[in-house]
Amino acid sequence: MKVIMNTGRTIPQGESVERKHSPEYESAASVCFIHPVDMMVLGIEDGAHIRLSGPDSRVVLTARASEMVEQGSVFVPLGSYSNHVVSGETHCTGMPDFKSTMVEIIPTEDPVLSVAELMESLGGVRYAH
Amino acid sequence: MTELLIRNACVFDPLNGIRGDVMDIAIRDGRIVESVKNDADVIDASGFLTLPGGIDSHSHVCGTKVNFGRYMSPEDMRAGRTARRGKMHVTSGYYVPTTYGNSYRYSTMGYTTVLEGAMAPLEARHTHEEFNATPHQDMLANTLFDGNWSIMEAVHAHDVKRAAAIVAWTLSSVRGFAIKLTNPGGTEAWGWGEDLTGIRDPVPNFNVTPAEIITTMISANELLHLPHSVHLHCNNLGKPGNYATTLETFGLVPDLNKNRQTLYATHVQFHAYGGSTWRDICSKADEITKSVNAKPQIVMDMGQIMFGRTMTMTADGPMEFNLYCLHHNKWSNHDVELETGSGIIPVLYSKKSLVNCVMWAIGLELALLTKNPYQCLLATDNPNGAPFVKYPEIIGLLMSKRYRDEECSTLNNGFEQRTSISSLDREMNWNEIAIITRAGQAKALGLAAQGKGHLAPGAEADLAIYPIRCDDVDPATEYRKVVEGFQKTRFTIKRGRVVARDGDVIVEGANATFWVNPTVPDEHNVANDPDFVKKFEEYYTVRMSNYPVQDVYLPRGRCIKTEADI
Amino acid sequence: MLIKDVVCPFCGCLCDDLDVEVENGRIIRVDNACTLGSKTMVGDDRLKGPIRRDGKGWVETTYDAAIEEAAQILLDADRPLLYGWSSTHGEAQSIGVHLAELLGGVVDNTSTVCHGPSILAIQEVGHPGCTLGQVKNRADLIIYWGCNPIDAHPRHMSRYTTYATGFFVRDAHRGRKVIVVDTRRNETADVATEFVQIEPGGDYAVLSALRAIVRGRGDVVPPSVSGVPKEQLVRIAEMCKNAKFGAIFFGLGLTMTAGKNKNVRNAIELTDELNRHTKFIISPMRGHWNVYGTNEVFTWITGYPYAVDFSRGIAFYNPGETTAVDILRRGECDACLVVASDPAAHFPKACVEHLARIPVIQIDPHPNATTHICRLQIPGSVAGIDAAGTAYRMDGVPIRMKAVIETGVPNDTEILQKLYNRVREGTRE
Amino acid sequence: MRVILEAKARKKPFLPIEAESIIPRNFLKGTDITVYEGNKERRLEDLFWILVEGTAVTPEKIEVVLKGDTSRVKRIGEYMDAGKITIAGDVGMHCGNFMSGGDIEILGNADAWLGREMRGGYILCHGNAAHYCASGYRGEKTGMRGGSIEVLGNAGDYCAEYLTGGEVHIHGSCGDMAGVEMKGGQFIIEGDATRPCGNMKDGTCMIFGTVHQMLPTFERTGIKELPDRKVTMTVYKGDIANRGKGVMMVKETVRSDE
């Protein structure tokens, strides 16, 4: 289904933002809050994995039901995971559309990658702390 | 030990009664001395005009408000761009230049000391950070008390000693130099979007009037024996008819100090308007100067405006909002909790505008109608009236009737009936110019004792050597030479070091920051007063322990200690 | 040992009332801080020393060797980008700007992906604001627009607004009304007197409508604007005009959605309009604890708050062109120095891909996403924990960060000064 | 006289070249001029193959032709006052900034800030123009003051921002917020526009395609027949939020909330 992705700070993401190699950060940043009705339409349960696809990229996240997001939109904490699908276009304002990216969601069995794996996929070299 | 000898200097040193003598000046370790050894470095001034380093006694160059003026003006930053060169950093901006831009331009004009006109105590740390990035001028900070809650409470209680104690604690905590009152009481009223209409209006919720604040602070200032007097930006700035408020204010001022004035009234041009609307605005410079000529206890600065674009920035928030409604240009406002306010908007002073022409004339009238040049100093309230780089033109105008007439002929006709500028024949001489640009400032700020503004042995070796030969230039006719001459020194010398030459700064600066620490008896130290501390912790949003400015922010601080009479 | 009045190095609230318990060189307890602040100070774990990428792996190196290699990378570049700065103290930021000036590089800070659009708006119309104490002591109406303080600035409401007792607002609960405007019913909305829900991307239209209503031209406004019924807009406008002191706090909900700087400009002009009726201020909810400091430092040195390009010797500024995201997406830099931020985590994928292509040096105490894509990482101490220095609160109030523990780790100022000196030798050669 | 500059291949093809020195007048004195590649000053011949045909004594008689990959060459024609510049392919940012006279013709696409703060002359772009076409500068209250810009393709966001004088004609569609902050001049959009003319103070904007998300603060004042085009336009006054008296004419509108 096509939805608008909104991103922003959440408490768990903020608590662990200075420890991005930690499991806390990975679980805090790799969730996608979806309205229960939309989850029903997708036929997935809380905790299921979904693939979020942007214009030229995709990332696997853990779905979480939340009535705080509207139907037709999802909320993903700001950070490594959400930015994997945000486009670099800034409309010459310097600022990407972090809070209004059109994305496609489909259920998936694929695993959620670690931050290190995400960075490797972009040409980095994993540093094991 | 470094020694320097300046030969053949044509010296004007008003505080020491030297008027154009051609002489040598000996310098050792940054101070003027009687003589130096033969192997000292020598600079040949070749008969050029040589003055003590220039002092600006009211300029906005550092701090929260000034930096916000820069922040909101990328269009101005395009106006004056220079690349990194030699010892000079990149500079940007014309009317709100970067700190280095200000510092280099002042230095190449021969200015070695500048007083920042308005520092909010809560944001003092910021001002001091920028002082350190303005390395070629010794800096001083006027500290704002106009809307200070505990001061107003002391005023309400008629407790001058309490007011003095609060000033003492605040100045020493924030490393301030003098008491600044900007639209006293008005800035607190602006906290509610209101203003006061005169010095007898009560301040909302505090039940004191500007008049009471002013008189109490004047007494407190003298109890503390501060080097400078109370530094006042009168109420009703920029309003037609406001001269009455200004005169009423001057009437409040007793003569309490034999060494200097008791009140410094700043940018009086903005406070000398007659009429009742912008339509019938006229000059009241005559009334204002009549009052000042009869009151040695008052010193003022011109607040001259010059035509062109600039930025108005003042702690006077309500005035700025009125300007915004007038011009509809961008408007910034920044009120500071428990202390003061501030506003910023860009303006264009145009020769087509009758009002602007009247304003231009008033500043000049004030200087020319004030008999004693020590009582009316040269300043534009930089950048409010004009950027300080316009000072040389103002000097030219004051020295030449012909220059003034030529300017007048290009202005909006009709302004002459509203001012007396064309009827004034006075032309200032070199000595008077030396007074209104350094000697007067040194005396008014109480800095002569610190070795500023004069060249007697023991004085700090701050000098400006201008490429002007006083004997073969007639300012009355050759005013262009005068203007050019004052734009770029041949040499600017700071603490015995050549810092600028022919318009280029050639060394890294090492300025000092002067601040005042008045010692009060323990029982008057408000830091030990539970009520003061309680209120502070309740209503400020920073802890009292995080409020004072630490020593690290004044790497070259120069503390002036005073003993309070309380 | 208990250290009082410690300043928190997390968000723009820059709370300075923390009590920190230190035991043999470690922070064991933090009182008064929100969970974000205390987790940052207690859970702090660091890179032990400088590391460099060696082929497909990592090796430890010395500070001197690392600084030498960093200097060479920067000297070899034709257009280096120096990015980050918001999580370090002003003294380090200042050296960073001078380093860019020396190199002829581009220097940008995290405002670029935070309130950069707010800065652009302020440059168009100015900013009627005030220090937070004015709001705490006077405001009877608080508006949170496109922001969620409960998650992003957890103590904002208790220290400065909704729950704070002020001189003129003795009873915060009865004394203040709160309006929340957002596209989703966030946690903050639950404590609001009135919640205004806007369709995504509808902020600009709603702000325009409010301006028209406030100036008495509600007649042109249609029955519903971006999902908000006209009746509610009229009610909001009345609440604003009848307030004694109103304060609008806005967040990334305005700066990150379509219209960006124009959204913020519209909000500022609404504030201007309201000042014709009563006292109103507006203020961005700045994110990093010292992002406002970078704007201040950049501004007094270069004249511009962020996105400054020294390639031509003079300072050139044009967000959208000289901003980090645009430069990286377009591949317009050939080396990057990252200081005290984590672009690999907070920039879009396209930017991170370019970072992975060019030599990147990171000066940051923590292993983070950027670690994996940099060539070299040099850890410094953390302001507010083991380094002292200057920070500016979201409202411009400057506060000195304390060092509460001694670790012997060099601070960013020392590291950058060494790098600067080394580069200066290099430019002389 | 024709000066033909063909871009050479570069080691770092993405680094911007700043070439405000490429204006006809500068070639009166020959081709010994410099441009910047990143922070390095380069001689024109280091980056371009240069061919000069004929001679000229005034800039009006000079045509500069750019070939090859010029998509990263910025500020071509900045402060140009006479003569002609032809760009065979795409051109980088800030082409024709502050231009006061002469012609610029771009056969490909133009990057952002095409003709920023233009004062006179004519720019024709055959392809698309990116964001901030015919716009103003950060913090500056006056945008394009004179001359005219014609784009045969589409324009990006913030097209004609702060337009104050002169004419902007977009044959395709505009992105978001076309004509925002308009203060004067004439702005014609043959295609569609989203949220046009926000905060408009004065000037005229005609939109012959569809308006998306029409702003709620424009006052419908009537209709106007355009016989030469055989269309009827709805006329709006605005932006009311900004006490504006600008004119926006629209062929057909769709409000965001309808």
Using a CB-CB cut-off of 8 Å, the residues of chain C touching B77 are 303-304, 315, 317
Mean pLDDT of C299-318: 98
Q: How far apart are CA D79 and CA D77, in angstroms?
A: 6
Inter-chain contacts counted by CB atoms under 8 A, chains B and C: 183
Q: Of B248, B372, B244, B394, give the one whose Cα is nearest residue B307.
A: B394
Domain boundaries, chain D: 112-255
C144 in the same domain as C98: no
Q: Strands C316-317 and C128-130: what pairing?
A: unpaired
> Shortest Cα distance from B317 to chain C (angstroms)?
10
pLDDT digits (tens, 9 = 90+) for D223-232: 999 989 989 9
Cβ within 8 Å, pair C350-A87: yes
Using a CB-CB cut-off of 8 Å, the residues of chain B touching C127 are 68, 72, 332-334
SS3 state at C413: helix
pTM of the model: 0.97
Cβ within 8 Å, pair D242-C227: no
Per-residue pLDDT of chain B (566 residues; tens, 9 = 90+): 789 999 999 999 999 999 999 999 999 999 999 999 999 999 999 999 999 999 999 999 999 999 999 999 999 999 889 999 999 999 999 999 999 999 999 999 999 999 999 999 999 999 999 999 999 999 999 999 999 999 999 999 999 999 999 999 999 999 999 999 999 999 999 999 999 999 999 999 999 999 999 999 999 999 999 999 999 999 999 999 999 999 999 999 999 999 999 999 999 999 999 999 999 999 999 999 999 999 999 999 999 999 999 999 887 888 888 888 877 889 999 999 999 998 999 999 999 999 999 999 999 999 999 999 999 999 999 999 999 999 999 999 999 999 999 999 999 888 889 999 999 999 999 999 999 999 999 999 999 999 999 999 999 999 999 999 998 999 999 999 999 999 999 999 999 999 999 999 999 999 999 999 999 999 999 999 999 999 999 999 999 999 999 999 999 999 999 999 98
Which of the residues D20, D39, D78, D138 would you substitute to probe the B interface, choosing the one with the greatest number of B C-beta atoms within 10 Å? Answer: D138
Portion 531-550 of B in contact with C at CB < 8 A: 538-543, 545-546, 550
Which helix H or strand E contains B312, and what residues bound it?
strand B308-314
Cα D5 to Cα C229, D50, D86: the distances in Å are: 59, 5, 10
Phi, psi of B317 (to 5 degrees): -55, -50
Answer with the one of C267, C284, C301 that is the final residue of a domain.
C284
Paired tokens of A87: 């486009």
C388 in the same domain as C272: no
> Is residue B302 within 8 Å of residue B271, measured between CB atoms?
no
Cα D123 to Cα B219, C293, D81, D105, D156: the distances in Å are: 69, 42, 12, 6, 16
Per-residue pLDDT of chain D (258 residues; tens, 9 = 90+): 999 999 999 999 999 999 999 999 999 999 999 999 999 999 999 999 999 999 999 999 999 999 999 999 999 999 999 999 999 999 999 999 999 999 999 999 999 999 999 999 999 999 999 999 999 999 999 999 999 999 999 999 999 999 999 999 999 999 999 999 999 999 999 999 999 999 999 999 999 999 999 999 999 999 999 989 989 999 999 999 999 999 999 996 655 444
- Read off the DSSP letter of residue C304: S
Task: Give the one of C77, C220, C259 whose C-beta lies nearest to D240's C-beta.
Answer: C220
What integer pLDDT is reported at residue B232 of this predicted model? 98
Q: Into how many domains does chain C fold?
A: 2
Q: How far apart are CA C255 and CA B21, in angstroms?
A: 65
DSSP strands (E only) in chain D: 2-7, 17-18, 34-37, 40-43, 48-53, 63-67, 73-74, 84-87, 103-106, 122-125, 148-151, 167-170, 186-189, 193-194, 204-214, 219-226, 231-238, 246-255
> Shortest Cα distance from A115 to chain D (angstroms)?
28
Q: How far apart are CA D162 and CA D201, in angstroms?
A: 9
- Read off the DSSP letter of residue C416: H
Q: Which residues pair with A61 in a beta bridge?
A: A50
Q: What is the torsion angle, in degrees rounded to the nearest 10, for the CA atoms of residue B495, residue B496, residue B499 and residue B503?
A: 110
C205 in the same domain as C66: no
| Angle subtended at Cα D223 by Cα D217 and Cα D227, rounded to the nearest 5 degrees | 135
Using a CB-CB cut-off of 8 Å, the residues of chain B touching C17 are 543
**Contact status of A2 with chain D (Cβ, < 8 Å):** no
Q: Which CATH number fits domain A2-121: 2.60.40.10, 2.40.40.20, 2.40.100.10, 2.60.120.650?
A: 2.40.40.20
* CATH code at position C398: 3.40.50.740
C70 located within any domain: yes
Answer with the one of C239, C268, C284 that is the final residue of a domain.
C284
Task: Give the one of A68, A95, A126 whose C-beta lies nearest to C255's C-beta.
Answer: A95
Paired tokens of C59: 């090796």
> Is residue B287 within 8 Å of residue B268, measured between CB atoms?
no
User: D227: which residues sit within 8 A by CB, 6+ positions away?
Assistant: none
> Shortest Cα distance from D69 to chain A (angstroms)?
22
Answer with the one of C284, C304, C321 that is the final residue of a domain.
C284
Mean pLDDT of C230-245: 98
Q: How far apart are CA B367 and CA B437, in angstroms?
A: 12
Q: Which residues pair with D6 in a beta bridge?
A: D49, D67
Q: How far apart are CA C290 and CA C88, in angstroms?
A: 7
What integer pLDDT is reported at residue C103 of this predicted model? 97
Mean pLDDT of chain C: 96
C4 located within any domain: no
Paired tokens of B44: 């040949």
Domain boundaries, chain A: 2-121
What integer pLDDT is reported at residue D257 of this predicted model? 44
Which of the residues A90, A92, A100 would you substitute to probe the D interface, choosing the one with the greatest number of D C-beta atoms within 10 Å? Answer: A92
Q: How far apart are CA B191 and CA C139, in angstroms?
A: 10
User: B289: which residues sit within 8 A by CB, 6+ positions away?
Assistant: B365, B366, B369, B370, B376
Q: What is the torsion angle, in degrees rounded to the nearest 10, for the CA atoms of residue C141, residue C133, residue A8 and residue C280?
A: 40
Cα B128 to Cα B66, B221, B294, C205: the distances in Å are: 13, 23, 38, 43
C185 in the same domain as C63: no
User: B136: which residues sit within 8 A by CB, 6+ positions away?
Assistant: B103, B104, B106, B107, B112, B494, B499, B500, B505, B509, B511
Q: How far apart are CA D160 and CA D164, in angstroms?
A: 9
Paired tokens of D197: 């003319």
Q: Of C140, C144, C149, give the one whose Cα is nearest residue C177.
A: C140
pLDDT digits (tens, 9 = 90+) for C201-225: 999 999 999 999 999 999 999 999 9
> Is residue D219 within 8 Å of residue D237, measured between CB atoms?
yes
> CB-based burial of residue A104 (10 Å sphere; 0-12 exposed, 13-18 middle, 19+ buried)?
middle
Q: Strands C57-60 and C51-54: what pairing?
A: antiparallel
* CATH code at position C185: 3.40.228.10
Q: Residue C176 sits in which domain range?
A: 116-284
Q: What is the DSSP string of B68-102?
A: HHHHT-HHHHTTS-B--BTTBPPB--SSS--HHHH
Give percent of chain A with pLDDT exceeding 70.
Answer: 100
Q: How far apart are CA D35 and CA D47, in angstroms?
A: 9
| Angle subtended at Cα C72 by Cα C70 and Cα C74, rounded to the nearest 5 degrees | 70
Q: Of D112, D123, D115, give the one whose Cα is nearest residue D96.
A: D115
C229 in the same domain as C106: no
> CB-based burial of residue B545 (10 Å sphere; 0-12 exposed, 13-18 middle, 19+ buried)?
exposed
Q: How far apart are CA D136 and CA B17, in angstroms?
A: 56
Other Cβ atoms less than 10 A from the Cβ of C170: the count is: 9
Other Cβ atoms less than 10 A from the Cβ of C24: the count is: 7
**Contact status of C205 with chain D (Cβ, < 8 Å):** yes
Using a CB-CB cut-off of 8 Å, the residues of chain C touching A87 are 348, 350
Q: How far apart are CA B231 and CA B58, in angstroms?
A: 9
Q: How far apart are CA D239 and CA D230, in angstroms?
A: 27
Q: How far apart are CA D258 and CA D250, in angstroms?
A: 17
Portion 201-240 of C in contact with A at CB < 8 A: 201
Paired tokens of D122: 């004519």
Q: In chain B, how long is the greatest CA-to-CA distance? A: 69
Q: How far apart are CA B71 and CA C122, in angstroms?
A: 8
What integer pLDDT is reported at residue D253 of this predicted model? 60
**Contact status of C117 with chain D (Cβ, < 8 Å):** no
- Physical contact, B and A (3 or more Cβ pairs within 8 A): no
pLDDT digits (tens, 9 = 90+) for C91-112: 999 999 999 999 999 999 999 9
Inter-chain contacts counted by CB atoms under 8 A, chains C and D: 115
What integer pLDDT is reported at residue C429 of this predicted model? 55
Cβ within 8 Å, pair B193-C313: no
Task: Give the one of C262, C317, C318 whose C-beta lies nearest to D180's C-beta.
Answer: C262
Which helix H or strand E contains C210, and what residues bound it?
helix C203-214
Give per-residue burial for B29-51: e unless 16+ CB within 10 Å, then b. Answer: ebebbeebeeebeebebebbbbb
**Contact status of A83 with chain C (Cβ, < 8 Å):** yes
What integer pLDDT is reported at residue D258 of this predicted model? 40
> Shortest Cα distance from D145 to chain A (angstroms)?
22
**Contact status of A92 with chain D (Cβ, < 8 Å):** yes
Q: Of B60, B12, B51, B143, give the one whose Cα is nearest residue B379.
A: B60
Q: Strands C245-250 and D122-125: what pairing?
A: unpaired
Paired tokens of B474: 């007639």
Q: Which residues pair with B263 in a beta bridge?
A: B230, B298
Q: How far apart are CA C81 and CA D199, in angstroms?
A: 35
C341 in the same domain as C317: yes
Cα B195 to Cα B191, B531, C240: the distances in Å are: 9, 29, 20
Using a CB-CB cut-off of 8 Å, the residues of chain B touching C90 are 129
Using a CB-CB cut-off of 8 Å, the residues of chain D touching A91 are 131, 156-158, 175-176
